[in-house]
Amino acid sequence: MIALYTLMEGIIAFFLIAGSIFALIGSLGLARMKDFYMRLHGPSKISTLGVGCVLLASIAYFSLLDSGPSLQELLITIFLFITAPVSAHLLSKSALHQKLERDPRTRGNPQELQEDDDEHTSEESPQGSSKLP
């Protein structure tokens, strides 16, 4: 019985440690990678997985050691895995829109990052001056 308990504890502890290490690595990537596009990788998948692990640990903890089966945290996990790629996608979209510098070693030269000759309009021209109906 005690062994089983220890095993369970071990599983939970594993998920916890693994999750937090992943999350740390994800944030580390965010902190130290060279350009935005590279920084994006860490948080968008590694951190997500890390938190996923912690959520699994929580499920395990409450199901195994506390009040019986509970899968509530699964919902958060699923939610994170659905939304994280979308956030990453939108972020890189805006980065491309802003033509953020990429690391010089990056191969490929997408049109999004090429300088175009669009005239830059001044910041604030009062255009919407007509009254609403």
Partner 1 sequence: MLDFALKVSVVLFAIAVILNLYRVAVGPSLPDRILALDTMYVNSIALIVLFGIWLGHRTYFEAALLIAMLGFVSTVAVCKYLLRGDIIE
Partner 2 sequence: MSLLLIVLLPLLGSLLPLLGSNQRRHQCALLTAAMPLIALLVTLRETPGVLAGEVPRLAFSWVPALGLDLALRLDGLSLLFVLLILGIGLLIILYARHYLAEADNMPRFYAYLMLFMTSMLGIVMADNLILLWMFWELTSLSSFLLIGFWSHQSAPRKGARMALAVTGMGGLALLAGFILIGQIVGSFDMQTVLDSRDVILADPRYLPALLLVLLGAFTKSAQFPFQFWLPQAMAAPTPVSAFLHSATMVKAGVFLLARLHPALAGSQEWLYLVSLTGLVTMLYGAYFALTKLDLKAILAYSTVSHLGLITMLFGFNSQMALVAGLFHILNHATFKAALFMTAGIVDHECGTRDIRKLKGLWRYMPMTTALATITAASMAGFPLLNGFLSKEMMLTESLETPLLGGLAWLIPALATVASILSAAYALRFVRNTFFDGKPRDLKKTPHEAPFLLRLPVLVLAIVCVVVGLFPALTATGLLTAATDAAMTMPAPEPHLSIWHGFNLPLLMSTIALLGGLLVYVLRQHLFAFHRQFASRDSLAIFENAVQRLVRFTQWAIDTLENGSLQRYMLWVVISALVVAGMSLMGIETLKGELATQEASPLIIVGAVITCFAGLATAFLHRRRLISLIMLSVVGLMASLIFARFSAPDLALTQLAVEVVTVILLMLALFFLPQKTPKESSASRIVRDVLLAAGFGGVVASLNYALLTRPLNSISDFFLENSVPGGGGHNVVNVILVDFRGFDTLGEITVLCIAGIGIYKLLNRLRLFMPSSDSEGRPWSPDRYPMILASVSQSLLPMALLVSVFIFLRGHNAPGGGFIAGLVTAVALILMYIAHGVEWAQQRLSFQYQPIAVAGVAIAALTGVGSWAFGYPFLTSSFGHFHIPLIGDMELATALLFDLGVYLTVVGATLMILANLGKVTTSHRPSKQKEKA
Partner 3 sequence: MIRPRKWLPMPLLSVLLLIVWLLLMNSIALGHWLLGGFLAIVIPLITKPFWEEQPRIKKPWLMVRYFFRVLLDIVVANLEASKVILDPRGRARPAFVEYSLEVQENFTITMLASTITLTPGTVSAHLRMDGKTLLIHALDVDDIDDMKRHIHERYERTLKEIFEC
- Three-class DSSP category at 81: helix
| Site pattern 27..66 for partner 1 (x: CB under 8 A) | xx-xx----x--xx--x---xx-xx--xx-xx--xx---x
Number of amino acids touching partner 3 (CB under 8 A): 45
Binding mask 39-78 for partner 3 (x = CB under 8 A): -xxx-xxx-xx-------------------xxxx-xx---
How far apart (Å, rounded) are the C-alpha atoms in residues 20 and 70? 22
* Burial (Cβ within 10 Å: 0-12, 13-18, ≥19) of residue 63: middle
Contacts to partner 2 from residues 32-61, by CB under 8 A: none
Distances (CA, A) of 99 to 45, 108, 113: 23, 14, 5
Q: Which residues neighbour 128 within 8 Å (Cβ) at sequence distance 6 or greater?
A: none
Residue 3 vs 132, nearer CB to partner 2: 132
Cα first-last separation, the chain: 75
User: Where on the chain is the footprint of partner 1 (CB under 8 A)?
Assistant: 6, 9-10, 12-14, 16-17, 19-21, 23-24, 26-28, 30-31, 36, 39-40, 43, 47-48, 50-51, 54-55, 57-58, 61-62, 66, 70, 72-73, 75-76, 79-80, 83-84, 86-87, 90-95, 97-98, 100
